[in-house]
Amino acid sequence: MNRYYTQRRHKYTLDFGSQAEKWWQSEAPFDLQPSALLQDSLSLYAQRCWQQYRHDSTLFHALNEHVTACFGCQRHCYFDLELHQHYPDLPLIKFWLASASCCCREYPVNQGDLWLQHLRLTQAMSLAMEQRSYDPERLVGYGEQWVMIMDVET
């Protein structure tokens, strides 16, 4: 059975075709303006993590894919939960690299929008990891506003 989670104003629903039930609801909206001290602390920590892992080719490709997806015009589905289990700091490293690459873009990038995208992806990734823990045999992917669970035929 395939399940598909989608977000609508911080509410996630589980869709089985025409039937839907509330599966999760956020308590409060995300803060678009983290303090300068928090931003600096997170940035320094992420930079140290990146220095530690930057020679890992598997991680490098996943990070490159993430930065490309952040600035692309198409929705992206991530299937990197195993990497997140191996590298718990990966969400922060992803955000830091995307943020650092803003200066290389031909068009201006709103850091607040990038932060919100990061928070949504991290939230969806956490939900996806939880779902994967229930049934490791299923393929679980996620995007900025959804989690997808698929049966894998063997």
Q: What is the pLDDT of residues 22-81, one digit of tens each?
A: 445 555 555 666 677 877 888 899 999 999 998 999 899 999 999 989 888 888 999 999
Q: Cα–Cα distance between 34 and 152 in angstroms, integer?
A: 40
Question: How many domains, the chain?
Answer: 1
The secondary structure element, H or E, covering residue 14 is strand 11-16
84-98 pLDDT tens trace: 999 999 999 999 999
Q: What is the pTM of this model?
A: 0.73
Q: Cα–Cα distance between 141 and 148 in angstroms, integer?
A: 5
- Enter the tokens of residue 58: 């598997």
What is the chain's length? 154
Collapse the DSSP code of 150 into the 3-class scheme (helix H, G, I; strand E, B; otherwise coil) and give the result: strand
Q: Cα–Cα distance between 90 and 23 in angstroms, integer?
A: 26
Pick left, alpha or beta for residue 126 (phi over 0 → left; psi -120 to 50 → alpha; otherwise beta): alpha
Which residues constitute the domain of residue 137? 3-25+34-150
Q: For 5, phi and psi rounded to 5 degrees? A: -105, 140
